[in-house]
Amino acid sequence: MNILVIRTHRFGDILQTSPMLRGLREKFPDGKISFLTGSDMTDLVSSNPDVDEVFSIPEKEYRWFLKNRPEQHPRVYNELYDLLSELRGRDFRLIVNRQYEFGAMAAWLVGGVGETRGGTFSPEEGFVFTDDASRELFETIRTDRRRNGRNLVDWGCRIAGVSPGCGDMVFRVPETARSDAGHLLAEGGAKGDDDSLVAVQMGAARSFRQWGAENYTPVIRWLIKDRNKRVVLLGSEDEEGLAETAVRCLGPEGNGVINLTGATDLNTLGGVLERCQYLITGDTGTMHMAAAVGTPILALFYGTAYPWETGPYGAGHFVLYADEPCSPCLVPEGCVCGHRCLKAITPRHVCAAFDIAESMREEGAQSPVWSDETVRLFVTRRQPGSDQVLIPVNDSPEIAEGMSPLPGRRVTNRPNDNGIESAVCAFSGQRDILVRQFCLGDRQSFVDAFSQLIDRLHATVRYLNGSRHGEGHEEILARELMPAIEETHTAFQSEDFVTVLDIVQYRLTSVMESLVRREGFHGTI
Amino acid sequence: MQNGSETEIPLPYEYPPAMRKIRDRNGIVTDLFEDRAPLGSLEPVGTDSGSLTVRRHMGGGVYRYIHSAVDPQREAGVWADCQSVHSDTAVILGCGLGYHALEFARRYRHIRQVYLVEADEQLFRLALDASGISAAIGDCNVHFLIGRDRVSVGRTLSDSLGSPFTYHLFLPATSLYPGFYASVIRNLDERLRAVRLAAGGGRSCGRDDPFAAGVEKLMDVMKSA
């Protein structure tokens, strides 16, 4: 049975489909699960063990061309036609669409005789929902979001027709990304066994979803000075200004901050979060990534964010929420309440919540006390087969017993780990992508694939330099790997793409094979 | 990085004329070659596998290979395997020495009409002698569009392609003349979209809504969102 899941953008939302994918795998153990996602999300989906095949579409690029470059419309049309036509040929018996408009229309075009769940399109009726769970979710959100007590992850399971709570959020950090994360943290002064790291994500996609550097700064200062933590700032390139403002305001305490804003891709973000003891954040994609790698979260919810809907998924995460009558907000940019829900949460609340979270998790505090009535502190609880719930900490002394301990973290590169094998797999995967792009003939795609391949090779070099491996690796690095990388660069500069490919396919592949042979791994790459 | 230069730097090389077959087939194509210098900046080079490849000198000691210097046949096989072929007409952009076009023909025998576009006349001359491409000259279902006359190539393709087709790019050859091939690709995309919409693509999403029109509708939604 062929199954297609559609979700093309927003990495947090894509990660939120992982429990549903687990449920589909359990329900259809012999089924083949395909996933249609955005080109920039391919890594995220392909690392999921419950996905057999990934189809990617440069949706953002297409939207830009459609709005700005009319001369590119025929190309976009033909590429969309080819992709959807190929998907249609797969004869999917079940399509689970987790995205409005684009996803619904794609589901309509791809769908044949099979069942579509989660929303599709009809020429007569427009966008329609074809299953009860989708209709119920849409009606609840449309009429009164406060009636919704169910996390979207659990909604996703119901929409797909699988039982809620059947799996955790999942993201498998590649070994090279784990190594890169280690290097980034080490450059910032964190040792491999540093267990004092607390990640802070200050930014958010929309300005009205940001708590502000002025609020985060005192929390960061308190973590460094009073709790002896090292703070790791995370965020996208767009949020670098926000991070710089916070570091500047911190003054001398700013030295205790490792600023990785704009420095991580999705894989490395997972690797950094895995090393952190906690993440403090608003409702962001980074929050879902932390949940997917098992890092405890203290989340701040306000504005449009509604914790019952999109709160961190998993047991033992904490959520601060000022439950104003007008929350969750429908018009954040035109708020007539003076953003009361956001301003209600103060640095003092965050610090107090952090202490409670830490004591419940690490010391097993049985009777946490949260005395504030304006801002409430909730903890997440999840049990297999049922929906996740949010419980006020005061009402749940038993929660501490049910909280899972901190997941095991790999803090150093051990000599017998599978780092080399993982690096070589990453190389061979990217090499195959490069060959494919060469064959498809699009120059820009080839250039992009080459750039990613070089990134992976450099990650391998960094990994080898930073790990304790058997003798001979230094020689291979110096005599074979580095000169070959250098020559691909020279050929690439001349746009001699054939020579680039010759070096990658023959010399670099041979070097990689000799590296894995030294590790005792025998196979062809 | 250098842009794909469309200039030629002559090299001293005597190319043995092997034009008989193409003269028999097509006088217009032959005329293109009659007054051309035999090789210009192209340099044939032997490969590890014993086949011939060719590299083009770009000036300043920089050159670009057109086919693998290790094993051009293997490269051509991989290229052909990667192509998605779902109609009986194909356009191949960039011929080089013709290895990949021959592999394409071997693998996809159902293809009835092939249009082979090569911007570089000298490269095509070399192909006629270096690979089996000259055998295709006698095949009336293989159409050669040689040279860089954008208008003529565009018009010929538009006039000839009346049903859905696929087109396939050979990057090392197309990247030598990016302006020319970009223009041809734009023409092909416009033509392909037009024939798909006209033909309905042979697939239907509903009683009155053909697949081809559905894709157009999807684009409207993406544009307005």
Lookup: tokens for A299: 């989340």
Q: How far is B62 from chain A (nearest CA, A)?
A: 6
Nearest-10 crossing angle of helices A266-275, A285-293: 60
Q: How far is B83 from chain A (nearest CA, A)?
A: 7
Same domain, A203 and A302: yes
pLDDT band at A419; cut points 50, 70, 90: low
C-beta separation of A164 from A158 below 8 A: yes
Instruction: Say if residue A407's pLDDT is above 70.
Output: no
Same domain, A147 and A192: no
Cα angle A472, A474, A477; round to 5: 110
DSSP one-letter code for B204: B
DSSP for B50-69, written as a single string: S-EEEEEEEETTEEEESS-S
Of B83, B172, B218, the CB nearest to A498: B172
**Beta strands, E only, A41-192:** 53-57, 94-97, 115-117, 120-122, 126-128
Q: What is the mean pLDDT of residues A428-449?
A: 93
Which of the pair, A249 or A517, is modelled with greater confidence?
A249
* Averaged pLDDT of chain A: 88
Of the listed ranges A325-329, A396-400, A505-509, the least confidently predicted one is: A396-400
The whole-angstrom distance between residue A349's C-alpha and the CA centroid of its chain comes to 27
Of the listed ranges A4-18, A273-287, A409-423, the least confidently predicted one is: A409-423
C-beta separation of A253 from A156 below 8 A: no
Instruction: Say if residue B37's pLDDT is above 50.
Output: no
Task: Tell me if the pTM is above 0.95.
Answer: no
What CA–CA distance (Å, rounded) separates A225 from B174?
61
How confident is the model at residue A471, as a pLDDT? 59
How confident is the model at residue A364, as a pLDDT? 60
Number of alpha carbons in the 13 Å side-chain half-sphere of residue A112 = 14
Chain B residue with minimum CA distance to A489:
B1
Cα angle A372, A378, A379; round to 5: 140
Tell me which chain A residues have a C-beta less than 8 angstroms from the C-beta of B187: none
How confident is the model at residue A522, as a pLDDT? 52
* Averaged pLDDT of chain B: 81
Same domain, A149 and A185: no
DSSP β-ladder status, B113-118 and B89-93: parallel
Query: How does pLDDT run across A368-394, given as a tens digit for each residue?
Result: 788 888 999 999 988 778 899 999 988
Q: What is the CATH number of the domain that holds A356?
A: 3.40.50.2000
User: Containing domain of residue A123, as a range?
Assistant: 2-160
Instruction: Say if residue B16's pLDDT is above 50.
Output: no
What CA–CA distance (Å, rounded) separates A86 from A110?
9
Phi, psi values for residue B176, rounded to 5°: -75, -30
Highest mean pLDDT among A30-39, A427-436, A457-466: A30-39
Instruction: Say if residue B214's pLDDT is above 50.
Output: yes
C-beta separation of A75 from B187 below 8 A: no
Does residue A166 belong to any structural domain of this protein? no
Tell me which chain A residues have a C-beta less than 8 angstroms from the C-beta of B219: 66, 73, 76-77, 80
C-beta separation of A406 from A279 below 8 A: no
Torsion angle of the four alpha carbons A241, A244, A246, A251, in this order, in degrees rounded to the nearest 10: -160
Residue type, A200: V
DSSP for B124-184, written as a single string: HHHHHHHSGGGGGGG-TTEEEEESS-HHHHHHHHHHH--S--EEEE-HHHHTTSHHHHHHH
Same domain, A207 and A351: yes
Tell me which chain A residues have a C-beta less than 8 angstroms from the C-beta of B225: 63, 101-102
- CA–CA distance from A326 to each of A283, A338, B157 (Å)? 18, 11, 63
Same domain, A339 and A230: yes
Does residue A472 belong to any structural domain of this protein? yes
Tell me which chain A residues have a C-beta less than 8 angstroms from the C-beta of B205: 108-109, 123
The whole-angstrom distance between residue B174's C-alpha and the CA centroid of its chain comes to 8
With CA atoms as reference, report the closest residue to A99 among A115, A123, A82, A121.
A121
DSSP β-ladder status, A126-128 and A257-259: unpaired
Chain B, 74 to 103: residues with Cβ < 8 Å from chain A are 75, 78-79, 81-84, 86, 93-94
How confident is the model at residue A525, as a pLDDT? 55
Task: Please judge whether B219 and A80 are an interchain contact, meaning their C-beta atoms are less than 8 angstroms apart.
Answer: yes
CATH code given to domain B20-224: 3.40.50
Q: How many other C-beta atoms are found inside a 10 Å radius of the C-beta of residue B141?
A: 12
Task: Please judge whether B69 and A498 are an interchain contact, meaning their C-beta atoms are less than 8 angstroms apart.
Answer: yes
With CA atoms as reference, report the closest residue to A34 among A1, A4, A8.
A4
Chain A residue with minimum CA distance to B48:
A502
Instruction: Say if residue A469's pLDDT is above 60.
Output: no
Task: Please judge whether B174 and A441 are an interchain contact, meaning their C-beta atoms are less than 8 angstroms apart.
Answer: yes
Calculate what percentage of chain A has a pLDDT beyond 70: 91
DSSP one-letter code for B110: T
Same domain, A130 and A256: no
Of B70, B172, B215, the CB nearest to A77: B215
Instruction: Say if residue A479's pLDDT is above 90.
Output: no
How confident is the model at residue A478, as a pLDDT? 78
pLDDT band at A45; cut points 50, 70, 90: very high
Does residue A398 belong to any structural domain of this protein? yes
Of B67, B212, B215, the CB nearest to A498: B67
Query: Has the ipTM of the complex gone over 0.90?
Result: no
Does residue A146 belong to any structural domain of this protein? yes
Highest mean pLDDT among A327-331, A421-425, B76-80, B83-87: B76-80
Same domain, A251 and A184: yes
Does residue A219 belong to any structural domain of this protein? yes
From A105, A133, A160, the end of a domain falls on A160
C-beta separation of A415 from A468 below 8 A: yes
- CA–CA distance from A275 to each of A128, A171, A199, A267 (Å)? 43, 14, 9, 13
Does residue A411 belong to any structural domain of this protein? no
Same domain, A94 and A211: no
Instruction: Say if residue B205's pLDDT is above 70.
Output: no
**SS3 label, residue A55:** strand
With CA atoms as reference, report the closest residue to B196 among B72, B34, B111, B87.
B87
Task: Please judge whether B171 and A446 are an interchain contact, meaning their C-beta atoms are less than 8 angstroms apart.
Answer: yes
DSSP one-letter code for A16: T
Instruction: Say if residue B20's pLDDT is above 50.
Output: no
Which residues 6+ apart lie within 8 Å of A196 measured at CB?
Answer: A228, A229, A230, A277
Same domain, A397 and A427: no
Same domain, A204 and A352: yes
Query: How does pLDDT run across B84-108, given as a tens digit for each residue?
Result: 998 999 999 999 999 999 999 999 9
Tell me which chain B residues have a C-beta less than 8 angstroms from the C-beta of A113: none
Largest CA distance in chain A: 69
Lookup: tokens for A399: 């929660």
Of B75, B209, B215, the CB nearest to A84: B215
Does residue A361 belong to any structural domain of this protein? yes
Query: How does pLDDT run across A131-185, given as a tens digit for each residue?
Result: 999 999 999 988 888 889 999 999 999 999 999 878 889 999 987 788 888 888 9
Nearest-10 crossing angle of helices B72-82, B99-107: 50
- Any idea which residue has 């891709």 for tokens? A265
For A252-279, letters b (16+ CB in 10 Å) and e give ebbebbbbbbebbebbbbbbbbbbbbbb
Same domain, A273 and A129: no
DSSP for A116-158, written as a single string: EES-EEETTTEEE--SHHHHHHHHHHHH-GGG--S-HHHHHHH
Instruction: Say if residue A61's pLDDT is above 60.
Output: yes
Tell me which chain A residues have a C-beta less than 8 angstroms from the C-beta of B81: 439
Lookup: tokens for A351: 């610090």
Which of the pair, A59 or A408, is modelled with greater confidence?
A59
- Any idea which residue has 């976009």 for tokens? A76
Chain B, 179 to 208: residues with Cβ < 8 Å from chain A are 185-186, 189-190, 192-193, 196, 201, 203, 205-206, 208
Same domain, A81 and A128: yes
Instruction: Say if residue B221's pLDDT is above 80.
Output: yes
Tell me which chain B residues have a C-beta less than 8 angstroms from the C-beta of A105: 214, 217-218, 221
Highest mean pLDDT among A45-59, A357-371, A383-397, B1-15: A45-59
pLDDT band at A197; cut points 50, 70, 90: very high
How confident is the model at residue A521, as a pLDDT? 55
Q: What is the mean pLDDT of residues B45-58?
A: 90
Of B201, B206, B222, the CB nearest to A66: B222
Of the listed ranges A153-157, A414-418, A480-484, B203-207, the least confidently predicted one is: A414-418
How confident is the model at residue A365, as a pLDDT? 56
Which residues 6+ apart lie within 8 Å of A207 measured at CB?
Answer: none
Highest mean pLDDT among A214-223, A454-463, B31-40: A214-223
What CA–CA distance (Å, rounded) separates A460 from A422?
9
- CA–CA distance from B38 to each of A245, B14, B72 (Å)? 65, 7, 23
Task: Please judge whether A105 and B221 are an interchain contact, meaning their C-beta atoms are less than 8 angstroms apart.
Answer: yes
**SS3 label, residue A351:** helix
Query: How does pLDDT run across B140-183, given as a tens digit for each residue?
Result: 888 999 998 999 999 999 999 999 999 999 999 999 999 999 99
Which residues 6+ apart lie within 8 Å of B140 measured at CB?
Answer: none
Instruction: Say if residue B15's pLDDT is above 50.
Output: no
Which of the pair, B30 or A287, is modelled with greater confidence?
A287
Instruction: Say if residue A489's pLDDT is above 80.
Output: yes
Calculate what percentage of chain B has a pLDDT beyond 90: 56
Instruction: Say if residue A105's pLDDT is above 80.
Output: yes
How confident is the model at residue A384, as a pLDDT? 77
What CA–CA distance (Å, rounded) separates A151 from A173?
25
C-beta separation of A209 from A303 below 8 A: yes
What CA–CA distance (Å, rounded) separates A94 from A104?
14
Q: How far is A267 from chain B (nearest CA, A)?
A: 28
**SS3 label, residue B117:** strand
Task: Please judge whether B215 and A436 are an interchain contact, meaning their C-beta atoms are less than 8 angstroms apart.
Answer: no
Tell me which chain B residues have a C-beta less than 8 angstroms from the C-beta of A84: 211, 215, 218
pLDDT band at B22; cut points 50, 70, 90: very low
Number of domains in chain A: 3
Lookup: tokens for A290: 């932390």
How confident is the model at residue A294, as a pLDDT? 92
How confident is the model at residue A402, as a pLDDT? 53
